[in-house]
């Protein structure tokens, strides 16, 4: 398992976008595309989260089977 390095703003705002995370593993690029598909990057809050996600170092993101934790690189 590769270690992660998550941007602090990404960590802080992830709870506002957690509904976009599924139990199926998504690559970082898939997750970025999901953000773009569901939200306008013209919104400053969304744009900052998107940039923070880009700056974060992880390969995959998903919910655990209980849907109570977000897992990276699993």
For 21, the domain range is 8-72
Q: Is pLDDT at 1 greater than 80 in this prediction?
A: no
Position 51 in a domain: yes
Position 2 in a domain: no
4-19 average pLDDT score: 95
Q: Is pLDDT at 5 greater than 80 in this prediction?
A: yes
Position 1 in a domain: no
Structure tokens at 42: 């013209």
Position 48 in a domain: yes
Position 25 in a domain: yes
How many whole angstroms separate alpha carbon 18 and alpha carbon 31? 11
Q: Tell me the whole-structure pTM to 2 decimals.
A: 0.92
Give the count of domains, the chain.
Answer: 1
Q: Is pLDDT at 61 greater than 90 in this prediction?
A: yes
Position 37 in a domain: yes
17-28 average pLDDT score: 97
How many whole angstroms separate alpha carbon 48 and alpha carbon 54? 10
């Amino acid at each position: 398992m590769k270690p992660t390095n998550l941007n602090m703003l990404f960590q802080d705002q992830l709870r506002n976008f957690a509904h976009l995370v599924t139990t199926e593993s998504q690559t970082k690029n898939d997750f970025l595309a999901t953000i773009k598909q569901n939200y306008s990057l013209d919104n400053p809050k969304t744009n900052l989260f998107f940039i923070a996600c880009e700056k974060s170092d992880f390969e995959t993101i998903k919910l655990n089977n209980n849907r109570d934790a977000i897992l990276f690189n699993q």
